[in-house]
Chain A
């Protein structure tokens, strides 16, 4: 099976005197569903940042979608990011844009045709049950609704990899369930690789998953 992520002897840190991830070796198969757990400050989000290239490895190598991220050029990194969908705990929506335009963003960047963009956005708005809110701005929505917009944006361009950083951390049960259903659907129907950083793995989820636990800078696979 193809590997979408390969890490060898990977070390990550923000400063020279503190290593967050220390000499980790792991890989993620294409089309798999992965959970990353660990205590607060253990390095879960740091690992995710390195996967989308916001943090370069200090040591070792990290290959994502065939792109080596140590010393990667901006052009290559942009190319890789166009095939990744990211969901953040704080949503990261553009406040001055409508939710419709926020969802369109990856499609515009990938150069899709206007009609395709509109159809895709309409479908996604129905999936996240926000069709009636299309013209509103993010700050007019609740936290749960904003996260559903972020989820729709992450799915809009059918990425090869979805990264979700504590996507249900601040959400009510209804929105949380909707987010898990969307992640499960993308994984099952589109064979998208999904990596979720979380404190709790939901019991209701009906997928085979791989589980990595981070402790003291080490990444361990949990059976």
Chain B
């Protein structure tokens, strides 16, 4: 019972860090997926006095992935109030050209300003409609969401680090006597601290295994998958290989750091 209690305090602290880290990763992935989704739906419309080739348009800015000429037929149909076909053909020739530009990714407001400036530098382009207001609101909402999650993850990290430091003091007190006694009989530092490192690595493995179980369950939860479906994105909640390796790496590194701090802070009794 005492042994479980000894392990539990560090395991819980490590698990909190792993939990906040993985939540942060999921939010990052969701935002990226949502940005991709927005990028595919977001486009800029330009008005040109002359017909522009695809190559001409794509050369203006690297961000432009595709240019599609908009047909003037809808406009002409609305204007067509008994015009004969010759006049309609003439109207078609005199009307400016409209292009819908798709972008490689969802741009920041600053990138939109640069894009607009680049487009207007072309002497034939007379107007650029960037739908900046709608874009700006969505982008700010995304940033706010990311900010809130970052603050949450950072707060958990700080609180847990303080917990770990408290745990470090307890461990220092608990292991100090044994390490001193071993030192009196000439045990090298690695042998004196072997138990400590073994304990911390075992705790890291336990915490990682718990995190694996927890996130595997969350990733397979129908409710979670439905929530992502509602907002029209598909996100990898937990990659059993890559994410687990990352979590395990972080847990082991933190535990070894903790054990190393105890060993470095250990002073032999005089």
Q: By the criterion CB–CB under 8 Å, are B188 and A52 in contact? A: no
Q: How far is the CA of A93 from the CA of B270 in the complex (A)?
A: 16
Please determine whether B184 and A52 come into contact, CB atoms closer than 8 angstroms: yes
Distance (Å) between the CB of A45 and the closest chain B CB?
A: 11
What distance in Å separates the Cβ of B116 from its nearest Cβ neighbour in chain A? 68
Chain B: which residue is nearest A46 at the CB level? B270
- Does A79 reach chain B (CB closer than 8 Å)? yes
User: Is A27 an interface residue, CB under 8 A from the partner?
Assistant: no
Partner of B191, one of A75, A83, A86, A109: A109
Chain B's closest residue to A109 (CB) is: B187
Q: Mark B183-213, 1 if CB is under 8 A from A, else 0.
A: 1111111010000000000000000000000
Query: CA of A195 to CA of B177 in the docked complex: distance in angstroms?
Result: 24
Given A14-B270, A49-B270, A54-B268, residue A109 in contact with residue B182 (CB < 8 A):
yes
- B187's nearest neighbour on chain A, judged by CB, is A109
A55 contacts the other chain (CB 8 A): yes
A80–B270 touching, CB < 8 Å: no
Contact size class for A? 20 to 34
| Chain A residues numbered 154-195 whose CB sits less than 8 Å from any CB in chain B | none
A78 touches B178 (CB 8 A): no
How far, in angstroms, from A97 to B179 measured CA to CA in the complex? 13
Q: Return chain B residues, CB-CB under 8 Å to A106.
A: 185-186
Query: Restricting to B141-178, which residues have a CB under 8 Å from any CB of A?
Result: 177-178
Do A78 and B186 touch across chains, with their CB atoms under 8 A apart? yes
**Is B269 in contact with chain A by the CB < 8 A criterion?**
yes
A114 within 8 A of B: no
Query: By the criterion CB–CB under 8 Å, are B178 and A55 in contact?
Result: no
Interface residues of A in 111-160 (CB under 8 A from B): 153
Cβ proximity bits A73-114 to B, threshold 8 Å, 1 near / 0 not: 011011111111010000011111100000001101110000
Give every chain A residue within 8 A of B188 (Cβ-Cβ): 75, 78
Given the contacts A49-B270, A54-B269, A109-B191, A92 and B178 also touching, CB distance less than 8 Å: no
Asked whether any CB of chain A lies closer than 8 Å to the CB of B8, the reply is: no
B185 to A86, Cβ gap below 8 A?
yes
Check if B58 is an interface residue, CB within 8 A of chain A. no
> Interface residues of B, CB < 8 Å — how many?
15
Complex CA distance for A52 and B189, rounded to whole angstroms: 17
Q: How far is the CA of A95 from the CA of B184 in the complex (A)?
A: 16
Which chain B residues border A81 with CB–CB below 8 Å? 183-186
Set of chain A residues within 8 Å of B268, measured between Cβ atoms:
54
Tell me which residues across on chain A come within 8 A of B218, comparing CB atoms. none
A96 to B177, CA, bound (A): 11
The smallest C-beta distance from B109 to any residue of chain A, in angstroms, reads: 60
- Complex contact A94–B270 (CB within 8 A): no
Q: Are A54 and B270 in contact (CB under 8 A)?
A: yes
B214 interface contact, C-beta 8 A: no
A105 and B270: CB pair below 8 A?
A: no
Instruction: Choose one: B178, B184, B269, B270; the contact of A86 (CB below 8 Å).
Output: B184
Most buried by B among A52, A86, A94, A153: A94
Q: Give the residues in chain B near A77, CB-CB below 8 Å.
A: 186
Q: How far is the CA of A153 from the CA of B178 in the complex (A)?
A: 15
**CB 8 Å contact bits of A23-57 with B (1 = contact, 0 = none):** 00000000000000000000000000100101100
Contact among A54, A55, A79, A94 for B181, CB-based, below 8 A: A94
Q: Closest Cβ of chain B: how far from A163's Cβ, in Å? A: 10
In the complex, the chain B residue whose C-beta lies closest to that of A102 is B181
User: Closest CB-CB distance, B25 to chain A, in whole Å?
Assistant: 39
CA distance A81 to B181 in the complex (A): 11
Of A14, A79, A92, A97, which one neighbours B186 at CB under 8 angstroms?
Answer: A79
Contact residues in B for A79 (Cβ distance below 8 Å): 186
Shortest beta-carbon distance from A75 to chain B in Å: 8
A146 to B38, CA, bound (A): 74
Please tell me if the beta carbons of B270 and A55 are within 8 angstroms of each other in the complex: yes
On chain B, the residues within 8 Å of A92 by CB distance are: 181, 184
Using a CB–CB distance below 8 Å, which chain A residues touch chain B?
14, 49, 52, 54-55, 74-75, 77-84, 86, 92-97, 105-106, 108-110, 153
**Can you list 13 contacts pairing A with B, beta carbon distance less than 8 Å?**
A74-B189, A78-B187, A80-B186, A81-B183, A81-B184, A81-B186, A82-B186, A84-B186, A94-B178, A94-B181, A105-B181, A106-B185, A109-B185
List the 7 closest A-B pairs by CB distance, nearest first.
A81-B186, A82-B186, A78-B186, A109-B187, A106-B185, A94-B178, A92-B181
Query: Contacts A94-B178, A106-B186 given; 11 further ones with Cβ under 8 A?
Result: A52-B184, A54-B269, A77-B186, A78-B186, A82-B186, A83-B186, A86-B184, A92-B181, A106-B185, A109-B191, A110-B186
